[in-house]
Amino acid sequence: MNTTTTHRDGPSARPSASFTNHVAEELLRYDEHLCNVRGLAARSRQNNLRIVGWLLQQKFAECPVEIAKLRPEDVRRFLASQLDAHRTTSNASHLASSLRSYFRYRTTCGDRVDALTAVISSPVNWRLATIPRALKPDEVERLLNYFTANLRLPKRDYAIVRCALDMGLRAGEIAHLMISDIDWRAGTVMLRGTKSLRQDIMPLPMKTGQALADYLQHERPATRNPAIFVRQKEGRDCPITSMAIQKVIKHACCRVGLPHSSAHALRHTLACRLVENGSSLKEVADLLRHRSLNTTLIYAKLDTLRIPRKLDSQSTANWTVGA
């Protein structure tokens, strides 16, 4: 898999209109950093902006934002008020993550924020305490058999699911696929809208390519839009959104009664099958495009003895689920 660094412009995650001008201007600058430097999707950026905006609004509603005037006690009081409203581990983790992200950004602006970050504590959360939520082989078969002709867009939805199952693509990566990204002769796909701001060249599994070709030839609307997955909105063709991709996968999984219905569950399914069939964690990390091997460590907990068979002569890069 070849990778090259690139930058992409994402849709702006506009701050809430409830914030004053001083805070809104600061959030716009922070959003630009999250998009162009960190490569976060609009939805993730919006969540960060909301939390940071609440903190800044308490201190700088009537004056320009000056981080030097923000005190550890201000951050401590803000966290306490937010946790009083929602005492959950996920809320505490999200608060801590968003504030740390913002203070890291302020560090790049030349601010000293050590005292501010020192008062932010994350709740105990054992990342590797559970095994990945993956589908079993019979569940994968039920899902792939769901896309029959009586559905509104069976070929499109089937191709979307195969992209997630066979290649481990995230919902946003599927939504960003362009026709020009596929090299049919070489059997590769160029991923441009990735989480790590890179261009990744991935092998295109045969089953996935067949599903995409079937959709492009027989179901995709006639349009000049370069996106593979296109929808009509207000009388014009536009690329499908990552949220729409997630809804397609969730709807299909729920309709066949699967316990896990997220797009990420299909990504986990690919990773689990690869590990169970003998692939190394490094190979799985490369295929899933993890920036850190630590992210892949959760798959080390799988009981590989349950499935003794190994991969055949095909490389792991060309392995497909349900093929």
pLDDT tens-place string over residues 56-75: 999 998 899 999 999 999 99
Q: Which fold has domain 12-117?
A: DNA polymerase; domain 1 (1.10.150)
pLDDT digits (tens, 9 = 90+) for 171-211: 888 999 999 999 999 999 998 755 555 678 889 999 999 99
Among candidates 196, 124, 205, which has minimal Cα distance to 165?
A: 205
For CATH 1.10.150, the residue range(s) in the chain are: 12-117
pLDDT tier at 295, thresholds 50, 70, 90:
low
In which band, very low, low, confident or very high, does the pLDDT at 14 lie, cut at 50, 70 and 90?
low
Distance from the Cα of residue 232 to its chain's centroid: 24
Q: What's the pLDDT at 298?
A: 54
Look up the CATH number of domain 137-318.
1.10.443.10
Residue 118 to residue 74: CA distance in whole angstroms: 13
* pLDDT tens per residue, range 64-122: 999 999 999 999 999 999 988 887 877 888 899 999 999 999 999 999 999 999 999 86
* pTM check: above 0.85: no
DSSP assignment, residue 36? Answer: I
- Residue 81: its pLDDT value, please? 92
pLDDT at 55 over 60: yes
pLDDT at 190: 92
**Looking at residue 262, what is its pLDDT?**
78
Is the model more confident about 300 or about 287? 287
**Start-end of CATH 1.10.443.10 domains in the chain:** 137-318
Residue 162: which residues within 8 A CB-CB, separation 6 or more?
A: 144, 207, 208, 211, 212, 320
Question: What is the secondary structure of 256-308 as a DSSP string?
Answer: TT-S--SHHHHHHHHHHHHHHTT--HHHHHHHHT-SSGGGGGGGGGS-GGG--
pLDDT digits (tens, 9 = 90+) for 136-179: 899 999 999 999 999 999 999 999 999 999 988 888 889 999 99
Q: Residue 203: phi, psi to the nearest 5?
A: -70, 145
